[in-house]
Amino acid sequence: MAPTGKTYPPFEYEVGREKIREYANAVAETNQIHFDRRTAQDAGFRDVVAPPMFAVVYSAGSIGPPVFDPEIGIDYTRMVHGGQEFVWGEPVCAGDTITTETTFKDFSEKAGRKFYVFQSVSRNQDGQETVRGIWTNIVR
């Protein structure tokens, strides 16, 4: 098994206005700051702003490699989603470039289940943290 603390190469994601709009539509968001640039700018944002859970979109490319790392050894046939926790920072807007880095944080066993915990940290092009996530996968 990979040692806890192992950090994986960063993943870069360029945030597009249409991707934000598509995501906002998919989650039934109605706030116009997610659709209209002028409305977003009038509200103090640089451009159309992503809904907070858009973090899953720009973090996915960084979370995948550790989860699929054969050195960690997750049995995917028995894996279930255990949970996600996020702490948001600087809002993500269209035109931002987000870089996410993921670390294998913890492994434990309890009641015959294996818990794999990963932490991701995402920063925008100015180095400001946009979100810090904890991702837990359980193998039953």
Model confidence over 37-81: pLDDT tens digits?
Answer: 999 999 999 999 999 999 999 999 999 999 999 999 999 999 999
Name the one residue in this structure whose structure tokens are 């709009």. 21
- Domains of the chain in start order, with CATH, are 11-139 (3.10.129.10)
User: Which tokens go with 112?
Assistant: 């015959």
Residues 16-39 have a mean pLDDT of 98
Which pLDDT score, from 0 to 100, does residue 4 have? 85
Instruction: Return d(Cα 136, Cα 86) in angstroms, integer.
Output: 12
Instruction: Return d(Cα 6, Cα 90) in angstroms, integer.
Output: 26
How would residue 2 be classed by pLDDT, with cut points 50, 70 and 90? confident
Which pLDDT score, from 0 to 100, does residue 3 have? 81
CB 117 within 8 A of CB 135: yes
Residue 1 has pLDDT above 80, yes or no: no
Model confidence over 72-122: pLDDT tens digits?
Answer: 999 999 999 999 999 999 999 999 999 999 999 999 999 999 999 999 999
